[in-house]
Structure 1
Amino acid sequence: MADGSLGRIAALIRQDGRLMLRDPAPLVVRTVMPLLIMGFMQPLFRTALRADDVQGANGSEQAVPGMAVMFLFFLVTVVGFAMFREHGWNTWDRLRAGPSRPFELVAGRIVVPLAVAVLQLAVVFGAGGLLFGLRVRGSYLALVAVGVPLALCVVMFGMALVSLCRTVSQFAVYANLAALLFAGLGGSLTPQSALPDWARALAPGVPSYWAMRGFNTIVIDGGGVAAVLLPIGVLCAFTAALTAVTLLFFRIDHRKISWS
């Protein structure tokens, strides 16, 4: 039984992987765009960080993690479109008729986007170091410890939206609005110290705030894994809550409306 379940999940993963490799352009754009924006934002962030008495700051300390977090949440659309695609292609009924259970359908759909999210973070941070002079003062292991739960949180946010939205248009609107809201409140667009008072009060309610808090602790303050346990724990809590929403509202017999 377990082998059969793993086999069905693996088949879904292979299918998603083939489709993503067939048209990688959207993923390439989501990786290149933050690098382009960093070039424009770095001087502004340099001024803001030096105003906060961050010694030797060149702006990349805010630009790289900020753009990495912001554009990672735009990856939510990739998660959703993979699910709505099945309805648009009229292949969802075939999946329903097969032996796959709802849990297997969800599990099979999160692995490829999760791998892409982790790879996107790695590329953006790596390119930030090479192109913009980012110097990580803390532990690289701590970067991974924050980045992986952040990536999983993004993927499960996408699955939760899929379970709640009936049409792909609804999903796209909510996903993009959330990405922009999370970027603003979380400190991706400006250092958290520069946020207005009302935004500072709301900021801890979004996962991007805790991701930026963790990355800032590592990049600027030189922290290690022990220093970012709180952000890691909160990101895991967000992921658990989004997983619960997905499992509660996801129904295999729900009809979704795609563009095609």
Structure 2
Amino acid sequence: MGDGAPGRITALVRQDFRLLARDPAPLVVRTVMPLLIMGFMLPLFRAALRADDVPDANGAEQAVPGMAVMFLFFLVNIVGFAMFREHGWNTWDRLRASPARSVELLAARLVVPLLTAVVQLAVIFGAGALLFGLRVSGSYAALAVVGVPLALCVVMVGMALVALCRTISQLSVIANILALVFAGLGGALTPQSALPDWAGPLAPGVPSYWAMRGFSAVILDGGGVSAVLLPAGVLCAFAAGLGAVTLAFFRADQRKLSWS
């Protein structure tokens, strides 16, 4: 590995990019699937938005950010696989024996998933505009202000689960459950105003709620960067909290199992 922490982290990041380039299929599927689902859900979302006093809505205003947020959280599995495969390949001990410290090994594993998540969001929003007529009445910069901390939050969910779970099966089950719960409570599957009474008080406790709130402020309300500072700040707080959980519970000497 390269000299110094930056060189060692860069070497690990390059390796992750090479592995991603060899097998991009999981990421392609996670990007294409939300677009396919949008085609089926668009009429339902159109009716929901028009019932929510958005008379000129075409449904993409809810479908695109909702499916983007929902499927972004399925990337948590990929974050976990990136860590667990080192144990499955019996290369984790070799990494630990290298000059790289545990915090460097963790930091290096953040880069590729984070960039992947940002690109996935950009592709889904761009395709949503081209294929489904998504109209953004606010600032595109504001979308990025929400999207980047959301992507970081997703990656940190994955890192926290890596720290807490011993097997890949545990991580996969928990990650999938969280993705669906976050989608439901966060307003990805229906406008937040249409959530059931019991879900309303719980919704602000999940990061997807703040992501959808920020995206809606830009897409539907025409907001700029100042309008999304609160949602973006809360997403950053979620990411910081998950980072603290990761550092508190991650043990480099704990053997992870890449099978049940």
* Residue number in structure 1 paired with 2:186: 186
**Which AA in structure 1 matches 2:258?**
S
Pairs within 5 Å for 1:2-151 = 4-151=4-151
Aligned-residue sequence identity (percent) comes to 78
Alignment partner, residue 157 of structure 2: 157
5+ residue gaps, structure 1, are: none
Distance in 2 separating the partners of 1:67 and 1:106: 28
Q: Which structure 2 residue ranges, 5 or more long, are not aligned?
A: none
Q: What displacement does 1:3 show?
A: 5.5
| In structure 1, C-alpha distance between the alignment counterparts of 2:24 and 2:186, rounded to whole Å | 28
Could you give the per-residue CA deviations for residues 164-193 of structure 1, whole angstroms, max 9, x where no partner exists? 000111000000000000000000011111
CA distance in 2, matches of 1:112, 1:174: 22
Provide the secondary structure at the position in 1 that maps to 2:198: helix
The two structures have a TM-score, normalised by structure 1, of 0.98
Amino acid of the residue matched to residue 30 of structure 2? R
What does the per-residue CA deviation read over 1:35-56, in whole Å, with 9 as the maximum and x for residues that have no partner? 0000000000000000011131
Q: Is residue 204 of structure 2 the alignment partner of residue 222 of structure 1?
A: no
Root mean square deviation of aligned Cα? 1.1
CA separation in 2, counterparts of 1:216 and 1:3?
46
Match of residue 205 from structure 2: 205
Q: Which moved more, 1:107-116 or 1:3-12?
A: 3-12
1:236: which partner in 2? 236
Aligned to 1:246: 246
Cα drift, residue 259 of structure 1:
2.5
CA distance in 1, matches of 2:161, 2:169: 12
Give the SS at the match of 2:26.
helix
Instruction: Tell me how far apart the structure 1 counterparts of residues 86 and 221 of structure 2 sit (CA, whole Å).
Output: 45
**Please, what TM-score do these two structures have when normalized by structure 2?**
0.98
Per-residue Cα deviation, 1:16-48 (whole angstroms, up to 9, x for no partner): 000011000000000000000000000000000
Structure 1, residues 75-94: CA drift from partner, whole Å, max 9, x if none?
A: 00000000000000000010
Letter in 2 for 1:117: A
| 3-state DSSP of counterpart to 2:99 | coil
Partner Cα separation in structure 1 for residue 82 and residue 3 of structure 2 = 25
CA distance, structure 2, for counterparts of residue 110 and residue 207 of structure 1: 18
Give distance in 1, aligned partners of 2:195 and 2:3: 51
Q: Tell me the distance in 2 between the aligned counterparts of 1:28 and 1:207.
A: 24
Deviation string, structure 1 residues 91-142 (Cα, Å, up to 9, x no partner): 0010111111111001000000000000000000000000000000000000
Following the alignment from structure 1 to structure 2, what is the Cα–Cα distance between the partners of residues 98 and 53?
59
Residue of structure 1 in register with 2:175 after alignment: 175
Letter of the aligned partner of 1:11 in structure 2? A
The CA distance in 1 between the partners of 2:16 and 2:253, in whole Å, is: 21
1:255 offset after TM fit, Å? 0.5
